[in-house]
Every structure is written in structure tokens, then in C-alpha cells.
Amino acid sequence: MTAMPADLKGLDLRAEIERLRKERNAVILAHYYQKPELQDLADFVGDSLELSRKAAETDADVIAFCGVKFMAEVAKILSPEKIVILPDMEAGCSLEDSCPPEKFKAFREAHPDHIALTYINCSTEVKALSDVIVTSSSAETILQQIPADQKIIFGPDRHLGGYLSRKFNRDMLLWPGVCIVHEAFSETELLKLKAQHPGAPIAAHPECPPTIVDHADYVGSTSGILNYAKAMEGDTLIVATEPHIIHQMERALPSKTFIGAPGADGNCNCNICPYMALNTMEKLYLALRDLEPRIEIDETLRLGAKKSLDAMLEMASGSVGKGDLGNR
């Protein structure tokens, strides 16, 4: 983890980041699960698909990625000539950790007649072993383009894969990974909360287990959930995803109420992504100042991973701006 120099005390970090952003010709991209102060100074805040597209099309020299490592790696794969920095290199993902490349390779080799449709929350190596990458906002559009008789391996998120498999009646072999954040929501506590707010719909991310998704009025990506909040008629929404997204909802819809779905202890603190939380203003400042930590990827590996990402961008083109899996 990046060491924190004591001389940062007293620095106006926001002003310093502004200065460095201009000096470096940097673009700051942030995921919705980042701390509000990072979301507020980003040039763009979005879901995984939108962030991939922004990274591919930017003309900045430096991409400062406020998100997790696999997202910054996607930026580097799609924009290899740019310097891509991640405030904290330890910002990983439980889904990526659940899927070591050598085990995934063996799994693929054991099922040679299957194609690998793989969630973007995985390592660059696993992307290079896959046929098509999906995000939660593009998975539905992409799956519908794959012939019904084509056998599919889906990894590493078994809940997203299971959701797609049930919704589209597709038999898929699922890798047994989960997101520790979405896995922590409690059905019992959610039903107690719903009883207190009977008129409030529930919006859930498809990384949630079926015990949560089955109670949701809307299931979709982070952008999809945000769009649902904007379009809904009521004034209260129960949000079953990482609670930092509520910052964007409160900014866009200050008169509405957003309640984070609870974990087993009855509050939503256990649903804060510990990896996303590693990024801070201090670390972003240091990363822009030092242009470190920097994402570097071996060129052969990058080209391998780019194929499955390009397939996603091509096949997802019909889902531009929709950003969701749709109602259940």
C-alpha cells in the first residue's frame, strides 16, 4: 500500500488535484462506489461499461482511475498509450480473487464445446482466456446475441450468471465466485425494512444473491439503478447495492429518500466495498503527483484480453446509454 507522507497535512488537496489534473492533462474517472469527495471531483462517474468506453475514447495523456484494479487494467488495455494510475494498487475485488487464471484455464479446457462469457470483474489473464466480456449493463444484450444452442461457461460471478440463466432460460456452467459486498445483504433484514416502507420499491444489483434479487422491483447495473431512481414515481427507494451510489441519487434527486438495504447486523456498513474504500483524496493526489502506482500490462497479454473486451464493446453497442438489465 502507498505510504502516506506527513507533509500532506495542510495541503488543499482539492486545489492540488485540480492543478495536477491540468498540468498532467489527466482525466479522472470514478466508479459510483467511490467516496463522495472522489465522485465529486471526477470528470466522469459511471458504471463499468461506461467507464470502459470513456477510457477507450479519452484524449487525455493520463487516466487517473478511482475504482478497483481490474477497472484500471481495462482502461490500460483499451488505451495502451496512456499512463493509467490507480490511487491504491491494493484495490482488488473478491470476484477477481475467486478466479485464478490457471484454474479458469483448466475449467475451460474441461469444457471445450463451451464459450466463455466472462464478467468484467476478473483479472486481465482471465479476460485473455475468455471469448466475450460482459458488464452488468451489457450482459443481457450480449447474451441475446449468442445462439440458443451454444453452450456457455459464465464466470466469475455465480449470482449474475444465475440471474441471467433464470431470466433467459439458458443452461450455463457457473464459476462459483461471489462479491463479498452484495453477498452480505440480509433477506430477513430487507423484509423488515420493506415492512417499514411498504410503498418503497427495491432496486438490486444482479451481484446480489437470489434471496435479495427475488424481492426486487428492479434489477440492474449501478447506472441502471440510478436511472430507475430518476424514473420512479414514488419518493422512497430501497437500494440493494454498494451504498456510495446513494450520493449520486441524493445529488440528482434531493427531494427523494434513498435507504441502503441492510446487512445481517441491520445496517449497511458491511456493504461498503473494502477495496473501493482504499482510494482516498490523499492517494489520488500522490498518484497524480508521482504518476504512480501505474498499471503496466505485458503486450501479448494485453492483446489477448483486448479481443474479448472488443467483442463486448461491439456486441454491447445496442445497449448504449441504457445501462440496465431491465425489470425482472
Residues near ligand SF4, by CB under 6 A: 33, 68, 93-95, 121, 179-181, 207, 242, 273, 275-276
Q: 144 in the Ramachandran plot: left (φ > 0), alpha (ψ -120 to 50) or beta?
A: alpha
Partner touching 47 among ligand SF4, ligand 13P, none, CB below 5 to 8 Å by kind? ligand 13P
The upper half-sphere exposure of residue 140, i.e. CA atoms within 13 Å in the direction of its Cβ, equals: 21
Cα–Cα distance measured from residue 186 to residue 298, given in angstroms and rounded to the nearest whole number: 41
The strand ranges marked E within 136-223 are 151-155, 172-174, 202-204, 218-219
Q: Which does 324 bind (CB under 5 to 8 A by kind): ligand SF4, ligand 13P, none?
A: none
**279 binds ligand 13P, rule: CB under 6 A:** no
Nearer to ligand SF4 by Cβ, of 129 and 181: the residue is 181
Nearer to ligand SF4, 48 or 319 (CB): 48
Taking CB under 6 A as the binding criterion, the range among 97-105, 131-139, 169-177, 277-285 that sits at the site for ligand 13P is: 131-139
Judged by CB, which is closer to ligand SF4: 274, or 318?
274
Residue 48 within binding range of ligand 13P, rule CB under 6 A:
yes
Q: Nearest distance from residue 217's CB to ligand 13P, in Å?
A: 17
> Of residues 222, 227, 308, 319, which one binds ligand 13P by CB under 6 A?
222
Closest C-alpha to 33, from 320, 275, 286: 275
Decide: is 319 part of the binding site for ligand 13P (CB under 6 A).
no
Cα→Cα distances 65→58, 165, 296, Å: 13, 32, 14
Binding of ligand 13P by 47 (CB under 6 A): yes
Q: Which of residues 157-186 bind ligand 13P (CB under 6 A)?
A: 179
Q: Which does 78 bind (CB under 5 to 8 A by kind): ligand SF4, ligand 13P, none?
A: none
Tell me how far, at minimum, the Cβ of 207 lies from ligand SF4, in Å. 6
**Grid cell of 70 as nine digits:** 481490474
In the sheet with 132-134, reading across from the earlier edge strand, the strands are 132-134, 114-119, 151-155, 172-174
Helix (H, G, I), strand (E, B) or coil at 5: coil
Which residues are within 8 A (CB) of 23 and not within 5 positions of it... i.e. 6 or more apart?
Answer: none
207 binds ligand 13P (CB under 6 A): yes
First to last CA, the chain: 41
Closest separation in Å from C-beta 105 to ligand 13P:
23
Q: Which of 171, 206, 179, 204 is nearest to 190 (CA)?
A: 204
221 or 279: CB nearest ligand 13P: 221
Q: Which is nearer to ligand 13P, 142 or 286 (CB)?
A: 142
Site size toward ligand 13P, by CB under 6 A: 11
Q: What is the dihedral of CA 229, 235, 241, 244, to 10 degrees?
A: 90
Kindly indicate which of the ranges 108-116, 133-141, 160-168, 282-290 contains the residues binding ligand 13P, using the contact rule CB under 6 A. 133-141
C-alpha 91 chain-centroid distance: 12
Among 136, 165, 279, 308, which residue sits at the site for ligand 13P (rule: CB under 6 A)?
A: 136
Helix (H) or strand (E) holding 50: helix 48-57
Q: Which residues bind ligand 13P (CB under 6 A)?
A: 47-48, 121, 135-137, 179, 205, 207, 221-222
